[in-house]
Amino acid sequence: MRQNAGVSNIEITEDNIKAFENTAKKYGIDFALKKDISSAPPRYLVFFKGRDADALMAAFKEFSAKKLTQEKKPSLKKALSVFKEIARQKNAERSKVKNKDRRIER
Q: Which CATH class is domain 7-93?
A: alpha beta
Question: Percent of the chain beyond pLDDT 90?
Answer: 8
Q: Tell me, what amino acid is at 103? A: R
d(CA 73, CA 37): 34
Question: Percent of the chain beyond pLDDT 70?
Answer: 78
Backbone angles phi, psi at 9, to 5 degrees: -140, 160
> What average pLDDT does this structure show over 57-65?
82
d(CA 19, CA 55): 16
Q: Where are the domains of the chain?
A: 7-93
The β-bridge partners of 48 are 8, 31
Instruction: Round the average pLDDT of the chain to a whole number and report it.
Output: 78
